[in-house]
Amino acid sequence: MRVMSENPDYTSTQTTEPRMLSGADMLVEVLRKEQVEVVFGYPGGAVLPLYDALYECGIRHVLARHEQGAIHAAEGYARVTGKPGVVIATSGPGATNLVTGLADAMLDSLPIVAITGQVAKSVIGSDAFQETSIIGISTPITKHNYQIQHASELPGVFKEAFHIANTGRKGPVLVDIPKDVAGEVAPFVYNAPPQLPGYQPTVIPHVMQIKKVLQHIELSHRPVILAGAGVLHAGASRELRLFAERFGIPVVHTLLGLGGFPADHPLFLGMGGMHGSAAANTALYETDLLLNFGARFDDRLTGNLADFAPTATVVHVDIDPAEIGKNVPTDIPVVGDAREAISLLLATEAKSPEISGWREKLLDIKAHTPFWYVQEGNVIKPQRLIEQIAQHTNGEAIVVTDVGQHQMWAAQFYPFVHANRWVTSGGLGTMGFGLPAAIGAQIAEPNRQVVAVVGDAGFQMTLEELAVVAELELPVKIVIVNNGALGMVRQWQELFYEERYSSSLMKWQPDYLKLAEAYGIPSLQIRDDGALPECLSAFLAAPGPGLLECLVAPMENVYPMIAPGHGLHQMVGVKP
C-alpha cells in the first residue's frame, strides 16, 4: 500500500534509480532539502571539495574571518530564527576554532549543525597535516557527533543531525567529513525519517502530572512562574502570557528567558538571580509553589541552593529529563515541551488561587526597588546608555551582547517585550560572542534593527568580524561600552579581592575609531552624558553599519548583587 504524506520528503516512492552524487554534491542537496538559507564558514584544504560544490549552488555562504566568528554568527542566527544555524570549518585548526562556539551552543541549547572537514580516511590517525580528532574533542560539548566513513552514509547522517539538533532539548551536532568521502560517488536517497530508537524525546507531558500541578496551583498562596529559555525554544510565549493572566501568577525570567514574557506586563517581576531584581528574588525566595517552565536552575540564578525557594513545592517542566532534579529537588516533575505543558495546563478546569495579597506585595517591591544608578556630573553611566538605546529603538531592537557588566546592564535596563530579540551567551559566558552573534542575527532579520552592545574587552576578542559587517554592509550598530577594563572581573576584584586589580585593567587600547575607519565603518566616540540622546538618535538612524564608542564611568558596578555562596534573600545594593 502506498502511504501518502504531506511532507514532500517522504512521499516519493522511488520509482527511478536514485541519483548518483558525490559526497560534496550530496551536502548541497542536504542543505537544500533542509531549507538552509545561509551557511557560515571558512574554507581550507580538507573542505575544498565541499566549497567547490557550494560555489554557485545558490545557498548563501557568509565568510567569517575566524571560525569562532562563524559559529557565533550561526548561534545568533539560530537564536533569532529558531532554525538550525549551519557552520562549515576545515579540519584541524578550523575544527578546533569551533570548540568555544560548540560549548556555548551546548550550554544554551541552540540548534547548530557544524560541518568539519577531515583529512582523507587513508591518513586519519597518522598526525597528517591539519588533522585533529574533532570527534574526540567535541564529544563532551555536542549533543551528538558523527564521522562519515562513506558517501552513502552522508544523507542518513545529515537527516539525523538536523533532526537531533532541532528537536527535544536543542543543541549542536557535528558532522566530520573526510576529504575523500566528499569525492566518493553514491546513490542519494533523502526520504527516510531517521530511525533513532535511542532518541525519543518526550514532547507531550504526562496528564496526571499536569493535574497535580493544577491541584497545587489551586491551593497555593505564594505561587511564582520561573520562565527560562525553554519557553522561547518551544515558542510558548503566547501560552505563557495566557497562563500567567489566567491564574494571576507573577512571572520571573532567567537571563536567557528574557522576552518570553513581555517586560511591560503588570505581572512581570524582572530577571531573577545574581543580578536580578529584588521583586524577582523575593518571589523566588518566599514562594510556596515554584512553577519552572524551561529553566535549568543554573547556579547564577539560584545562588546558594540551600536558600533557594526553601519553602516551595517545586514544579519543573523540562524537555530534558536529566535537568529535573539535577540541581534543585523537584516535587512534581513534568517532562515535555513547554508549549505542550502550558497548553495542557490552560485546557483543564482549575480555580485561580486567591493570591492578591502576595501579588500586591511583589508588585509593591517592584515599584519601590527598580534597577537604579546615580547620575554623576556629565559622565555617561552605562545603565543610562542602555536606557537611552531602549528609548531610541522603542524597545523593538534585537539586542545582542557580549559577556560582562554591559551584558547585565542590558538585561536589567532594556525592556524586552518580544520573544527572540535577546541574544546573549548565558551558560558559557563567552567573551567575544557579541559581534559575530550580531552578524548572524542581522542576517536572519535583515530589516530589523540589531544593536550589538559589547564591552571593550570582549570586543577585542572577535573584532576581526568587523570585516563581515563592512563587506555585507550589515546595518549592525555596535556600541562599545568602554570602561577600560574587564569590568566584571574588576568588580569582583574590588569586592572580593581587596581591590587588587590583577590583569583586569586595559592599560592600552586601540583607537576604536581608526579601527572602524580601517574597516570602512562609520564611527564616533562619545563621553559626555549631555550629548548622549542626540548622538544615539543620529547613530541609530543612520543607514548601514556603525560603531559608537562610549567612554563610560570606569568604576561603575552592577547592582543589585548576590555574592557567591549567598542566598536570594541576601541581595546587596538593592537601593542606592
The candidate with the shortest Cα–Cα distance to 412, out of 270, 553, 302, is: 270
Q: Identify the residue among 20, 192, 322, 541 touching other proteins (CB under 8 A).
A: 322
State in angstroms the smallest separation of the CB of 167 from other proteins: 11
Q: Would you call 179 a catalytic residue per the annotation?
A: yes
572 vs 283: CA distance, rounded Å:
16
With CA atoms as reference, report the closest residue to 203 among 173, 227, 225, 236: 236
Which entry of 488, 506, 561, 571 is annotated as an active-site residue? 488
Asked if residue 335 binds other proteins (CB under 8 A), the reply is: yes
**For 7, which DSSP code?**
S
Helix (H, G, I), strand (E, B) or coil at 467: helix
In the numeric block, which cell numbers belong to residue 370?
527598580
Contact with other proteins (CB under 8 A) among 259, 276, 336, 455: 336
| Cβ proximity of 47 and 94 under 8 Å | yes
* Residue 34 annotated among the catalytic residues of the structure: no
Interatomic CA distance for residues 176 and 34, integer angstroms: 18
Return the C-alpha cell found at 318. 523540562
Phi, psi of 569 (to 5 degrees): -90, 0
Among 325, 370, 520, 522, the residue binding other proteins under the rule CB under 8 A is: 325
Residue from the set 130, 152, 191, 202 that interacts with other proteins by CB under 8 A: 202
Cell matching residue 273? 538571580
The residue with cell 586519519 is 124
Point out the catalytic residue in the list 143, 159, 170, 179: 179
Task: Return d(Cα 557, Cα 490) in angstroms, integer.
Answer: 9
Q: Is the dihedral of CA 18, 20, 23, 29 positive or negative?
A: negative
Which of 67, 75, 160, 184 is catalytic? The answer is: 67
> By CB under 8 A, is residue 208 in contact with other proteins?
yes
Interface of this chain with other proteins, residues 163 to 182, rule: CB under 8 A: 164
Count of helices and strands (H, E) across the chain: 24, 20
CA atoms of 36 and 23, how far apart (whole Å): 18
Work out whether 196 is an interface residue with other proteins (CB under 8 A).
yes
Q: Nearest approach, Cβ of 38 to other proteins (angstroms)?
A: 27
Instruction: Tell me the window of 224-232, 236-244, 332-340, 564-572 that interacts with other proteins (CB under 8 A).
Output: 332-340
The residues that bridge with 422 in the sheet, in sequence order, are: 399
Name the residue nearer to other proteins (CB basis): 135 or 495: 135
Q: Would residue 539 show up in a list of annotated catalytic residues for this protein? A: no
Which of 139/311 has CB closer to other proteins?
Answer: 139
- 230 forms part of the interface with other proteins (CB under 8 A): no
Quote the least distance from Cβ 202 to other proteins, whole Å: 6
**Window 117-136: contact mask with other proteins (x via CB under 8 A):** ------------------xx
Return all residues near 470 (Cβ < 8 A) that are at least 6 apart. 519, 520, 521, 545
In the complex, the smallest distance separating the C-beta of residue 197 from other proteins, rounded to whole angstroms, is 6
Residue from 166, 209, 287, 292 binding other proteins (CB under 8 A): 209
Please say if 130 is a catalytic residue: yes
Question: 477-482 and 546-551: which strand pairing?
Answer: parallel
- Is 340 tagged catalytic? no
Among residues 129, 208, 245, 360, the one annotated as catalytic is 129
Query: Taking CB under 8 A as the rule, does residue 206 contact other proteins?
Result: yes
Q: How far apart are CA 54 and CA 182, in angstroms?
A: 12
326 binds other proteins (CB under 8 A): yes
Smallest separation (angstroms) from other proteins to the CB of 331: 11
Contact between 192 and other proteins by CB under 8 A: the answer reads: no
Sign of the dihedral through C-alpha 182, 184, 190, 194: negative
| Residue 198: CB minimum distance to other proteins, A | 5
Binding test (CB under 8 A) with other proteins, winner from 8, 58, 197, 377 = 197
Catalytic residue numbers?
67, 129-130, 179, 488
Q: Which residues bind other proteins (CB under 8 A)?
A: 135-136, 139-140, 143-144, 147, 164, 196-200, 202, 205-206, 208-209, 320-322, 324-326, 330, 333-336
